[in-house]
Homo-oligomer: A and B are copies of this chain.
Amino acid sequence: MRRKSNSPYNFESSVQVQFHEVDSLNIVWHGHYIRYFELGREAFGEKYGMGYRALRAHNTAVPVVSVHCEYKRPLTYGDHAIIKAYFIESMSAKVIFEYEIFHAETKDLIAVGRTEQVFTKPETGELILLFPDFYKKWLEELKNSFA
């Protein structure tokens, strides 16, 4: 159903499963993967200069408007996982990421996912309908750095 993510703009983070994340079935509760996605997305943002704080410095927020996650295999307590966040170019004024989570040792695919975010003004929540200029400039530079 889902093609493999293949954006060149990607970044890997790692996480170790904590005790409180594991449910009574002895696997990571499915809702925690939303936090893993956020961790991967923010690590990409920090690495390439467009994280939450950089956005706030431009008086812009990017609330999530869509989340999708498919679970392939479980994680359990103490497991180390790799979160691979792919920045996906968007035609409309959105920030799109796709994610792959792997078991760090077995390399098994654990989950795949996707989030979409829109640009808003933090004080009012008002939607910004076109890519902000600072963002277009950043995107240009991102592409050049990978060219």
- Report A's interface with B, CB cutoff 8 A: 18-20, 22-27, 29-31, 34-35, 38-39, 42, 46, 51-53, 61, 63-71, 74, 77-78, 122, 125
Contacts and interface: CB of A to CB of B under 8 A. Distances in A.
A25 B122 contact: yes
B22 A31 contact: no
Main secondary structure of the interface of A (DSSP, over half): mixed
Q: How many copies make up the complex?
A: 4
Given A20-B31, A31-B20, A66 B77 contact: no
A18 B35 contact: yes
A113 to B, nearest CB: 9
A67 to B, nearest CB: 5
